[in-house]
């Protein structure tokens, strides 16, 4: 893997104006993606994972959404400052996306070959014939049997797993530099999940496509990613290589997430009210409306201190096999001592 | 498939047969008519229908053959209806889908204009447009088309609103598709069903509107025959020669019925929510 950085997100802030007030869905997210790297973005529902990635491609509905600050540097340009037309040309060609629900991500009235070749038609001006040939080639690549015949089928004639494969083929048809996969396996059977992940892994390895894998499934992250960013309430609270994170989580929230994974061999270990109870982090994620300047995790944190309630912890660098940071007062203290 | 369901749907088939019958009459009238529809014949004024004279539906107050005039009027009425509906459907749909897709201020203004047009009764609006444009056959197309624009705008806007939040729209955007590409490639095919149904129902109303305008003297101008102006002429002699009114009236009723049956049937066939209800 080369160290060449291909995408840099700096201090991204995305807000939504709602009737309850200003929602800071993403509040100062920064990360860097290198060519061929797979980056996991982990966190609970509503922590801003998807919004972060939609913001990168400027796909936020506006109004009510608004990208209020930050920079997204791709190929030396700030996408957030670039005109819409310039960003549109990059979408699907240089940066493409896979969405969560394969059942609704395909247009029900268009043949799959048309949809797979869409990006090619848009970006390379392929004719109908060539586009279909390319679509058949992609279908073959993603392991759809009898691709010549299936190319003319409609999405409803495919199963959920096959549709997600078609989505992957669509997203990768132009050999993009970056693939953003927004919970690509959430809607699928566990048995299909592994196949889909393998497919993403193999296809992106061909052209050293970097992947941003958005998920709340730490199992997916463990098998796929090189490094991980853990998000909470619109901010990245910890980043580390996969090994560091799994063996030595630093942020109490990360620890809680890892403890929440149900384990077959330790099903009863954490039970408080009985052997069959699974562990979960107490409390629920905070409302993102008018967030005070504090650690948003402190009401749920077992280690909360006075300072956690009054100010947000700065980013602390830690030792690790990859750049490793954590935003928690526990570690700030540690360093001072 | 849809064709199969069409042949099994009695209502739609009845409508289709009626419409096909009228289309056949148009084709025949291009090559052959029993009599010349505009030449007056003072020897045979207001003759009752009879096989012996060849005037199967009788003659009018100028001695013109009513059957020939109905056949000729058929193409006038149908062609005007078809063009007017096409005009309204194309412009109305175009306005409606952009309003629905763009939302916000665009939506607001486009739909307010549509609301204003909608607030006039159809016939009144058509008369209004005709009196501005002048009484020419082509202007009838325009008058009826304008009446239809807000109707199609509303239907297509509503349909777009229900599907534009689908994930596949976002997927297309993330693929680099522009707004017009998304609208015409992805969204328009998804709303064709309600539009097709509306087209066929609109055709029936267009036939009525054209007849009404011609009846009032604003539409097709005599001596060119149209069912509306035939009825208008028959008004004065209806009591002594009822056939002058009955046959053109029947022609209108049957065609309107045909389009309505076809429209209702198509809705049953194409709307998945109504499928398997029975």
ipTM, two decimals, is: 0.82
- pLDDT for A3 equals 64
Q: Is the full-model pTM beyond 0.90? A: no
Q: Give A210→chain B minimum CA distance, Å.
A: 16
Q: Cα–chain-centroid distance for residue A250?
A: 21
Q: Give B175→chain A minimum CA distance, Å.
A: 4
The residue in chain A having the minimum alpha-carbon distance to the alpha carbon of residue B186 is: A107
Bridge partners (DSSP) listed for residue A34: A5
Per residue in B120-161, pLDDT (tens digit) is 898 999 999 998 998 888 899 999 999 999 999 999 999 999
Query: Number of Cβ pairs closer than 8 Å across A and B?
Result: 64
- Is A91 in contact with B189 (Cβ distance < 8 A)? no
- pLDDT for A1 equals 45
Per residue in B93-112, pLDDT (tens digit) is 999 999 999 888 889 999 99
- Is A123 in contact with B166 (Cβ distance < 8 A)? no
Check CB contact of A123 with chain B, cutoff 8 Å. Answer: yes
Nearest Cβ partner of B167 from A92, A105, A123?
Answer: A105
Whether residue A313 contacts residue A250, with contact meaning beta carbons closer than 8 Å, is answered with no
- pLDDT for A337 equals 43
Nearest Cβ partner of A91 from B175, B185, B190?
Answer: B175
Mean pLDDT score across all residues of chain B: 88
- pLDDT for A335 equals 53
In this prediction, what percent of chain A has a pLDDT beyond 70?
A: 93
The residue in chain B having the minimum alpha-carbon distance to the alpha carbon of residue A91 is: B176
- Which residue has 């050999």 as its token pair? A175
The residue in chain B having the minimum alpha-carbon distance to the alpha carbon of residue A92 is: B175
- pLDDT for B278 equals 44
Check CB contact of A64 with chain B, cutoff 8 Å. Answer: no
- pLDDT for A268 equals 52
At a CB cut-off of 8 Å and minimum separation 6, what does B4 contact?
A: none
In this prediction, what percent of chain B has a pLDDT beyond 90?
A: 45
- Is B186 in contact with A104 (Cβ distance < 8 A)? no
Strand runs labelled E in A19-151 = 21-34, 38-42, 65-74, 77-78, 95-98
Check CB contact of B185 with chain A, cutoff 8 Å. Answer: yes
Check CB contact of A117 with chain B, cutoff 8 Å. Answer: no
Residue A101 corresponds to which tokens in the numbers above? 């629900």
Chain B CB contacts of A90 below 8 Å: 176
For testing contact with chain B, the best of A58, A96, A107 (most B CBs within 10 A): A107
Check CB contact of A122 with chain B, cutoff 8 Å. Answer: yes
Check CB contact of B168 with chain A, cutoff 8 Å. Answer: yes
- pLDDT for A300 equals 87
User: Which A residues in the span 129-168 are in contact with B, Cβ-Cβ below 8 Å?
Assistant: 167
Check CB contact of A128 with chain B, cutoff 8 Å. Answer: no
- pLDDT for A160 equals 85
Reported as a pLDDT band with limits 50, 70 and 90, residue B1 is low
pLDDT surpassing 90 at residue B202? yes
Q: Give A106→chain B minimum CA distance, Å.
A: 5
Q: How far apart are CA A30 and CA B59, in angstroms?
A: 88
- pLDDT for B112 equals 92
Over its C-alpha atoms, chain A yields an Rg (Å, rounded) of 21
Q: How far apart are CA A220 and CA A202, in angstroms?
A: 15
Chunked into runs of 10 residues, chain A (337 residues) has average pLDDT values of 78 88 87 90 86 89 83 89 89 89 86 88 85 89 88 88 88 90 84 87 88 87 89 90 88 87 63 63 80 84 84 84 85 62
Per residue in B34-53, pLDDT (tens digit) is 888 888 877 877 777 887 77
Q: How far apart are CA B133 and CA B127, in angstroms?
A: 10
Per residue in B221-245, pLDDT (tens digit) is 888 888 998 999 888 888 888 888 9
Strand runs labelled E in chain A = 5-18, 21-34, 38-42, 65-74, 77-78, 95-98, 178-182, 210-215, 227-232, 235-241, 316-318, 324-326
Chain A CB contacts of B107 below 8 Å: none
Check CB contact of B173 with chain A, cutoff 8 Å. Answer: yes
- Is B176 in contact with A93 (Cβ distance < 8 A)? yes
Closest CA to A122 of B172, B22, B192: B172
- pLDDT for A127 equals 83
- pLDDT for A273 equals 55
- pLDDT for A274 equals 54
- Is B171 in contact with A106 (Cβ distance < 8 A)? yes
């Amino acid at each position: 893997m080369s160290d060449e950085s291909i995408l840099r997100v700096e201090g991204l802030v995305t807000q939504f104006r709602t009737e309850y007030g200003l929602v800071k869905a993403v509040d100062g997210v920064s990360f860097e993606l290198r060519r061929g790297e797979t980056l996991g973005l982990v966190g609970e529902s509503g922590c801003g994972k998807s919004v972060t990635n939609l913001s990168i491609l400027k796909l936020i509905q506006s109004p009510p959404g608004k990208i209020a600050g930050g920079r997204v540097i791709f190929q030396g340009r700030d996408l957030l400052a670039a005109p819409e037309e310039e960003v549109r040309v990059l979408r699907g060609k240089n940066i493409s996306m896979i969405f969560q629900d394969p059942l609704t991500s395909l247009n029900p009235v268009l043949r799959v070959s048309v949809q797979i070749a869409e990006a090619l038609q848009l970006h390379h001006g392929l004719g109908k014939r060539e586009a279909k040939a390319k679509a058949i080639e992609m279908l073959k690549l993603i392991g759809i049997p009898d691709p010549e015949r299936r190319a003319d089928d409609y999405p409803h004639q495919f199963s959920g797993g096959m549709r997600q494969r078609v989505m992957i083929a669509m997203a990768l048809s132009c050999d993009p530099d970056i693939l953003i996969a927004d919970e690509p396996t959430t809607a699928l059977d566990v048995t299909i999940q592994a196949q889909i992940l393998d497919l993403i892994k193999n296809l992106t390895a061909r052209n050293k496509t970097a992947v941003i894998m958005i998920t709340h499934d730490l199992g997916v992250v463990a098998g796929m990613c090189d490094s991980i960013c853990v998000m909470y309430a619109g901010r990245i609270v910890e980043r580390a290589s996969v090994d560091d994170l799994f063996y030595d989580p630093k942020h109490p929230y990360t620890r809680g997430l890892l403890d929440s994974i149900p384990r077959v061999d330790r099903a009863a270990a954490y039970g408080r009210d009985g052997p069959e109870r699974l562990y979960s982090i107490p409390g629920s994620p905070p409302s993102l409306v008018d967030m005070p300047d504090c650690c948003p995790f402190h009401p749920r944190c077992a280690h909360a201190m006075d300072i956690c309630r009054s100010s947000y912890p700065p980013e602390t660098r830690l030792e690790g096999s990859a750049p490793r940071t954590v935003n928690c007062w526990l570690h700030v203290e540690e360093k001072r001592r | 498939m849809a064709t199969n369901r069409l042949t099994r749907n009695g209502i739609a088939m009845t409508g289709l047969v009626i419409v096909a019958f009228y289309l056949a009459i148009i084709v025949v009238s291009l090559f052959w008519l029993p009599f010349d529809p505009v030449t007056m014949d003072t020897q045979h004024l207001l003759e009752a229908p009879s096989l012996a004279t060849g005037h199967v539906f009788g003659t009018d107050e100028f001695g013109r053959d009513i059957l020939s005039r109905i056949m000729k009027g058929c193409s006038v009425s149908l062609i005007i209806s078809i063009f007017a509906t096409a005009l309204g459907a194309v412009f109305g749909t175009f306005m409606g889908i952009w309003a629905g897709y763009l939302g916000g201020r665009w939506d607001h203004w486009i739909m307010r204009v549509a609301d204003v047009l909608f607030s006039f009764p159809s016939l009144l609006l058509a008369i209004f447009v005709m009196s501005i444009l002048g009484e020419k056959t082509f202007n009838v197309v325009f008058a009826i088309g304008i009446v239809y624009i807000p109707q199609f705008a509303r239907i297509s806007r509503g349909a777009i609103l229900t599907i534009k939040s689908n994930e596949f729209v976002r997927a297309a955007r993330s693929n680099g598709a522009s707004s017009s590409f998304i609208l015409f490639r992805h969204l328009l095919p998804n709303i064709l069903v309600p539009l097709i149904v509306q087209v066929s129902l609109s055709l029936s109303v267009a036939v009525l509107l054209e007849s009404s305008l011609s009846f009032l003297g604003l539409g097709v101008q005599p001596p060119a025959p149209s069912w509306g102006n035939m009825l208008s002429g028959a008004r004065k002699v209806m009591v002594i020669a009822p056939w002058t009114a009955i046959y053109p009236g029947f022609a209108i009723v049957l065609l309107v019925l045909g389009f309505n049956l076809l429209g209702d049937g198509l809705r049953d066939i194409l709307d998945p929510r109504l499928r398997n209800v029975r």
